[in-house]
Chain A
């Protein structure tokens, strides 16, 4: 049981490498750009899958957390503190390495927050906001929960759109690269494309491992029990409020991390990333992936985001996602891939059990 969990992970890593080699061989290395962006969106969607599919709580405001991550990082790393060099606080932060001097594209020098520090702040902020908003929101159920999360998303959107510092409708551009190790950085620079592709997918893989571990642990069982019958879960000693909140915060943090890195990868962020339609898309992907299936969600996220980012849906981009929502919810509320995979897993489990029964 424990080893079987790692076979799909190895398959994922294999697929990641294989796709890279195929694009290299086929002279289509540019596909990696959209695949990298899809990876970051996948990070949000698998977090949302944990929340919706396992804990059974809908969120129509997850783009808000992505935006919190992305915008915080963008604001902090494009902030110019050069004029305040003398300020003791600024000087202290600069000494501590939180601030970093760099050159902008046109040769002017800037003193702004180091991307790593900005990332930490962004993720912490998402964590705290998810906590603060999660406590009251997760007490709600059904339509009320949907509406409250939608309201949260709308508020973030209108703050982003109404605030000069966030670039209002234009968003923020010229966000610097995010330095990793050995001179490699998260950025749209085409020479770093392959490395960025691997970094993004490594992040997804790590998140997948963590989430897969989680869902097959005691916590995962408790989450599914909340989904199945919340009051009974409480009667079994599951602290439903705390588990829902922790899951909400975990998925918010994943969305914020995705927001941080995608913003550095794209070199900017705009209000479209905070829009309600984005949140609805994420829900659509979880739905079509099978609600409770991390693997289904991952596969559908890559397929749909890749096609959408390459413009295959043309002017029908939103309509495609709307159509997906309806068709899936009408005819296959358990998802298409999810059901298949579960059946397969079921078969394997039965097979194993029969074997072990025989050996007894």
Chain B
């Protein structure tokens, strides 16, 4: 069953057609990768999916409900979580607090409850903290809990961001270049990690440049070029697709 279905979606910026009539779907429990040369519209596609941009036309259906007109926080509340290509951690907050914010969608204490410090919010805070710590444990960064998030190394920041995205128990995770700026060993760790996340039952959609990582973990690969879909298939089939080789791999090698 398709968890996410994208139908004929388009987005134009002034004279630039960033995404043109793209359709695809993501199976529940799978890992799907979006690849394409620079400027192919991958990040725009992510921004459309997560509600940061409104599509000019087309529909995005998640869990059977249209979400393309919703704002980012509503989409996040429905269990579709994301990370950013350029890490966007919350400054002046510890790593743990960053992850705890990720739990926002699964908690409900509001202004009044917060100000009055109602007893039930204590339990909720406890639950948020424990869940955040267990995720950090899962990602191997629990020692960093009290460090200032923006003072961490690049790889550690990526991990915090991932923990934050997972903290809301999403059904689906959008990862925007999770291996960018990582060395080979870290990239390999990341690949394993993404597989483990999938094994938790979370569907993953990832934009990535690193071909080895994509081929290693994805169940399906979507290829974009100049905003258009040119292939959507299993990794091996995509690798053999002459069109893809021409626009993407060919250029990449050259």
Q: Does A touch B (CB under 8 Å) in the complex?
A: yes
Q: Which residues of A contact B226 (CB under 8 A)?
A: none
Q: Which residues of B contact A229 (CB under 8 A)?
A: 88-91
Q: Which residues of A contact B88 (CB under 8 A)?
A: 229, 231-232
A349–B97 CA distance with the chains assembled, in angstroms? 14
Which residue among A2, A222, A225, A246 has the maximum number of chain B CB atoms within 10 Å of its CB?
A: A225
Whole-angstrom distance between the Cβ of B85 and the nearest chain A Cβ: 12
A233–B122 CA distance with the chains assembled, in angstroms? 22
A144–B84 CA distance with the chains assembled, in angstroms? 27
B114 touches A231 (CB 8 A): no
A350–B128 CA distance with the chains assembled, in angstroms? 20
A350 touches B146 (CB 8 A): yes
Whole-angstrom distance between the Cβ of A127 and the nearest chain B Cβ: 13
Residue of B nearest to A246 (CB): B111
**Is B125's CB within 8 Å of the partner chain A?**
yes
Binds B, one of A16-24, A28-36, A105-113, A211-219: A211-219
B90 touches A218 (CB 8 A): no
- A2-B122, A235-B81 are known contacts. Are A217 and B50 too (CB-CB below 8 A)? no
Q: Which residues of A contact B124 (CB under 8 A)?
A: 218
Whole-angstrom distance between the Cβ of B159 and the nearest chain A Cβ: 15
Interface size on A, residues (CB 8 A): 32
Residue of B nearest to A1 (CB): B125
Whole-angstrom distance between the Cβ of B122 and the nearest chain A Cβ: 7
Contact-residue size bin, chain B (C-beta under 8 Å from the other chain): 35 or more
Q: Which residues of A contact B104 (CB under 8 A)?
A: 218, 221-222, 236-238
- A219-B114, A224-B97, A349-B146 are known contacts. Are A234 and B73 too (CB-CB below 8 A)? yes
**Is B117's CB within 8 Å of the partner chain A?**
yes
- A211-B115, A219-B110, A224-B97 are known contacts. Are A231 and B90 too (CB-CB below 8 A)? no
**Is B82's CB within 8 Å of the partner chain A?**
yes
Whole-angstrom distance between the Cβ of A207 and the nearest chain B Cβ: 10
**Is B52's CB within 8 Å of the partner chain A?**
yes
Q: Which residues of B contact A231 (CB under 8 A)?
A: 52, 72, 88
A228–B98 CA distance with the chains assembled, in angstroms? 10
Q: Which residues of B contact A220 (CB under 8 A)?
A: 114
Q: Which residues of A contact B52 (CB under 8 A)?
A: 231, 234-235
Contact with A along B80-113 (1 / 0, CB 8 A): 0110100011111100011011101101111101
B101 touches A225 (CB 8 A): yes
Sample of 20 A–B contacts (CB below 8 Å): A210-B116, A214-B111, A214-B115, A217-B121, A217-B125, A218-B128, A221-B100, A225-B90, A225-B98, A227-B90, A227-B91, A228-B92, A229-B90, A234-B72, A235-B82, A236-B76, A236-B102, A236-B104, A238-B73, A246-B111
Residues in A lying within 8 Å of B, measured CB to CB: 2, 210-211, 213-214, 217-222, 224-225, 227-229, 231-240, 246, 250, 292, 349-350, 353
